[in-house]
Amino acid sequence: MENGAARTAPAVIVAIDGPSGTGKSSTSKAVAAQLGLSYLDTGAQYRAITWWMVSNGIDITDPTAIAAVADKAEIVSGTDPANPTISVDGVDVAGPIRTQEVTSKVSAVSAVPEVRAKITELQRSLAAGAERGIVVEGRDIGTTVLPDADLKIFLTASPEARAARRSGELKGADVQATREALLKRDAADSSRKTSPLAKADDAVEVDTSDLTLQQVIECVVTLVEEKRAAK
């Protein structure tokens, strides 16, 4: 009975936004896997185009130079939550896009409107093609990319909790330095003119500061199941 119900469950589009270090990726992947949905890490797409810009010697401080080549990279995102792949021009970049060099430049590249237009179009086509539904995580999904998403969630956490998590991920990075880097990234992403990091008016806010990852996952799964049942 349960399997039949799962097979016939209506497709649901879930937007999960929030700043770095709130548990977005871990939560989104786990929720998608648990509910049989596709998964898209939109941050990886912005990292991928940033990696391409750096690899091709584009001046990251020049928005005009970035805009001129915004369409050149062919970015392909795999949407299997168990193995989310990302490639640029046929090259697997899952590792290279996580370097500090890319991390430090991604805000500048992703602030360029032409870059956002290209990546947003890519994200919308992936969401539209997800037959069983999809969990899309990023910074402007509920507000800009998928404003008609069935469920919008905004994850937050204190800067201290986020820095502790992120420095743990970065294997012993300095927590204070990590906190300052996160706050700097927040400021850049929240103040950009095109699609800033923001909570959608109809998003459910979940503060993950004092929750374990498992508790956050359970909370989001419940919200998605409620939304799916109401469809």
Three-class secondary structure of residue 9 per DSSP: coil
Tens digit of each residue's pLDDT, the chain (231 residues)? 344 444 567 899 999 999 888 989 999 999 999 999 999 999 999 999 999 999 999 999 999 999 999 999 999 999 999 999 999 999 999 999 999 999 999 999 999 999 999 999 999 999 999 999 999 999 999 999 999 999 999 999 998 888 887 777 666 667 788 778 877 877 777 777 877 778 899 999 999 999 999 999 999 999 999 999 988
What CA–CA distance (Å, rounded) separates 44 from 138? 9
Q: What residues contact 184, with CB distance under 8 A and at least 6 apart?
A: none
The Cα diameter of the chain in Å comes to 58
Q: Is pTM, for the whole model, over 0.85?
A: yes
Residue of 19, 54, 24 lying closest to 41 (CA atoms) = 24
Q: What residues contact 152, with CB distance under 8 A and at least 6 apart?
A: 14, 15, 17, 141, 142, 200, 202, 203, 204
SS (H, E, C) 23-52: CHHHHHHHHHHHHCCEEEEHHHHHHHHHHH
Any idea what the Cα angle at residue 40 is, between residues 217 and 201, rounded to 5°?
70
| Amino acid symbol at 200 | A
